[in-house]
A and B are shown apart, each in its own frame.
Chain A
Amino acid sequence: MTSTKYLIIGNSAAGVGCVEGIRQTDPQGEITLLAKETEHAYSRPLITYLLGGKVDEAGMAYRPADFYAQQRVKTLLGVEAAKVDPAAKTVTCADGQVIGYEKLLIANGGKPITPPNLPGSDAPGVFTFTTWQDARDIEAYIAANAVKEAVVIGGGLIGLKSVEALTARGLKVTVLELAPRILAVTLDQDASDLLAGALAKAGVTLMTNTTAQRIDLAGGKVSGVTLPDGSQVAAGLVVLAIGVLPDLSLVAGSAIATERGILADERLATNVADVYAAGDVAQALELISGERRSIPIWPNAYRQGFIAGVNMAGGEKIYEGGLAMNSVEICGLATISAGVTSPPEGQGYEVLTKLDPKTKNYRKLVLKDHHLVGYVLVGDVDRAGIITGLIKGRVEVKGLEEKLLAPDFGLISLPSVHRERVTAGLGVWS
């Protein structure tokens, strides 16, 4: 058995954030980082850009090639953690090696959901799309089988970015979305409609309120999908983009408390001593609800990892809470959304919208008790961060509503305390 002061499981945003958080506090303590994937820390969201030919392999690096050497981190890449034993303070790996730790971060991320009762879903030509290797496999499959048409199951973020990549490669793509509209979780109806228009313009076929009932095979390979109404869509490739769940396999049966994800407190510590969790596997404070929720987005993963790292190294840093937010540009149309975007009726939410029919620029603000709790911008997304800052900083915006809705709104309209803080470079919280 080897042992290390800090052990990090996971090599993406949260893992890298943790390294940077530890090193800010403890420049020397021994760090070991292990990850199932063999690649150096890479930008996971870029896998669709890679498939689409917008970045090359060198462009995938999230940190410089010598990052871990510079940070004095021992990496074990291609080594899968299998089991955490918090009583013995060890992690057992799939290859049998056992690593002891003083402080552990679990940041192994999520795993793609595969539909349990979809005949044909394990056939050649059916892929999930969450890793660099998936991008390589899909690219190789398209080339080897001269694929011309694809079906993407799921009209969420991963699904639509997959659509964009496949379209860029010249494939004719059909999207199947079970909900009545795409990006139903993050966008509101109007924004979804605008995005659906952009997809149609790019030649994508969008089918909502439906999904695949069966994946059809010919010669042992995917030939299309059959829908619940019996109609068929021809496709040489199927991408399953139904969603991602926290990967709890590491902690199953352990004393580490979980709900949807691993429960983490305001220091990103779990209920078990010296074990921390961050990123897509974690379930930590959400800013607006005050509840612990799993919000699998890059900025939250990095910040959670960083704060966990500071605390693991003996510092004191509190997680202010995450905000569900996304910036998604599909087929040239930019959208940014955050927080509550489709509030329920009759619960005291105030909604302000503005749609420019000519430019298709759309703005929507959601307020409660004179505080912003969410927004959607489509088209002109510039300076969205000012609105995000008002949500995070819980700034009262009474009387400013109409100004916020104007496309040229700015800091000058904001309460002076908030304005002075952010222009001093102190962020929204200090």
Chain B
Amino acid sequence: MKRIVAKEEYCMNCRLCEVHCLVSHSRSKDLIKAFRQERGEIVPRITVERLGAVSFAVQCRHCDEPACVEACMTGALSRDPVTGEVTHDPQRCVGCWMCVMVCPTGAIRRDKSGHVAAKCDLCLETGTPACVANCPNEALVIEEDND
């Protein structure tokens, strides 16, 4: 299973990962338009946390037994049995927030404009997670685990 791993010793709290996540999931795919016009409508699926000098980014951990998938009452959330990715189909989501209630990392956000859950999809469209590609200090890396 591929997972994005945060290296808190390298995170500078610049929050560019949040911005590039937003761009990657925007309509315009343009940083300026996404940040100035679409932000608020859409939410980043990654959150930078900071406490004193320490910071790191959190997004979906693609858990082995995802609590969100168990709790999802519509079937919008599912776990790909082959890749292990936890995927979300906004077409089948009604915004009941059961996933928000159970995600132990708080990684699922509410997209209030569409009234649907929003979570990390590993940028499946492009193949490279935007947060990893744009982290200026390699504080976000992709690691493969074999279990």
Report A's interface with B, CB cutoff 8 A.
Answer: 13, 17, 43-46, 49, 54-55, 59, 61-63, 298-299, 302-303, 306, 325-327, 329, 334, 336, 338, 381-386, 388-389, 392-393, 410-413, 422-428, 430
With A411-B105, A412-B49 already in contact, the answer to whether A299 and B100 are too (CB < 8 A) is: no
Closest to B91 in A: A59
Complex interface bits, B1-23 against A, C-beta within 8 A gives 1, otherwise 0: 10100100000000000000000
B101 touches A327 (CB 8 A): yes
Partner pick for A62 among B51, B74, B99, CB 8 A cutoff: B74
B106 at the interface (CB under 8 A from A): yes
With A299-B102, A412-B54, A427-B104 already in contact, the answer to whether A334 and B97 are too (CB < 8 A) is: yes
B31 at the interface (CB under 8 A from A): no
A423 touches B96 (CB 8 A): no
B98 touches A422 (CB 8 A): no
B100 touches A327 (CB 8 A): yes
Contacts of A54 in B (CB 8 A): 94
A383 touches B94 (CB 8 A): no
28 A-B pairs with C-beta separation under 8 A: A13-B73, A43-B73, A44-B73, A45-B73, A45-B96, A49-B94, A59-B92, A62-B75, A298-B71, A298-B73, A299-B71, A299-B98, A327-B96, A329-B97, A338-B101, A381-B97, A383-B106, A384-B97, A386-B106, A388-B102, A412-B49, A422-B61, A422-B104, A422-B105, A425-B1, A425-B61, A425-B64, A427-B67
B109 at the interface (CB under 8 A from A): yes
> Which 8 pairs from chain A and chain B are nearest by CB?
A383-B106, A389-B104, A385-B103, A425-B61, A299-B71, A412-B49, A410-B49, A422-B104
Closest to A67 in B: B75
B39: min CB distance to chain A, Å: 16
Report B's interface with A, CB cutoff 8 A.
Answer: 1, 3, 6, 47, 49-51, 54-56, 58, 61-65, 67-68, 70-71, 73-75, 92, 94-106, 108-110
Contacts of A430 in B (CB 8 A): 64
Contacts of B61 in A (CB 8 A): 422-425
Partner pick for B67 among A55, A59, A299, CB 8 A cutoff: A299
Docked Cα-Cα span, A329 to B54, in Å, equals: 35
Partner pick for B104 among A61, A298, A388, CB 8 A cutoff: A388
A33: min CB distance to chain B, Å: 17
Partner pick for A410 among B47, B64, B65, CB 8 A cutoff: B47
A417: min CB distance to chain B, Å: 13
A322: min CB distance to chain B, Å: 11
B100 touches A383 (CB 8 A): yes
B100 touches A336 (CB 8 A): yes
A412 touches B50 (CB 8 A): yes
Closest to B3 in A: A425
A385 touches B67 (CB 8 A): yes
With A46-B74, A298-B71, A329-B95 already in contact, the answer to whether A385 and B49 are too (CB < 8 A) is: no
Contacts of B97 in A (CB 8 A): 327, 329, 334, 336, 381, 384
B104 touches A299 (CB 8 A): no
Closest to A16 in B: B75
A386 touches B105 (CB 8 A): yes
A410 touches B96 (CB 8 A): no
Partner pick for B100 among A381, A389, A425, CB 8 A cutoff: A381
With A336-B97, A383-B106, A410-B106 already in contact, the answer to whether A423 and B71 are too (CB < 8 A) is: no
Docked Cα-Cα span, A326 to B102, in Å, equals: 10
Docked Cα-Cα span, A50 to B44, in Å, equals: 30
Contacts of A43 in B (CB 8 A): 73-75
Partner pick for A384 among B6, B51, B74, B101, CB 8 A cutoff: B101
Docked Cα-Cα span, A89 to B92, in Å, equals: 39
A411 touches B58 (CB 8 A): yes
Partner pick for A426 among B55, B63, B110, CB 8 A cutoff: B63
Partner pick for B49 among A13, A384, A411, CB 8 A cutoff: A411
B49 touches A382 (CB 8 A): no
A62: min CB distance to chain B, Å: 5
A382 touches B100 (CB 8 A): yes
Docked Cα-Cα span, A63 to B102, in Å, equals: 21
Docked Cα-Cα span, A391 to B97, in Å, equals: 18
Docked Cα-Cα span, A14 to B120, in Å, equals: 27
Docked Cα-Cα span, A144 to B74, in Å, equals: 30
A329 touches B96 (CB 8 A): yes
Docked Cα-Cα span, A397 to B95, in Å, equals: 30
Closest to B103 in A: A385
With A336-B97, A410-B49, A411-B58 already in contact, the answer to whether A385 and B74 are too (CB < 8 A) is: no
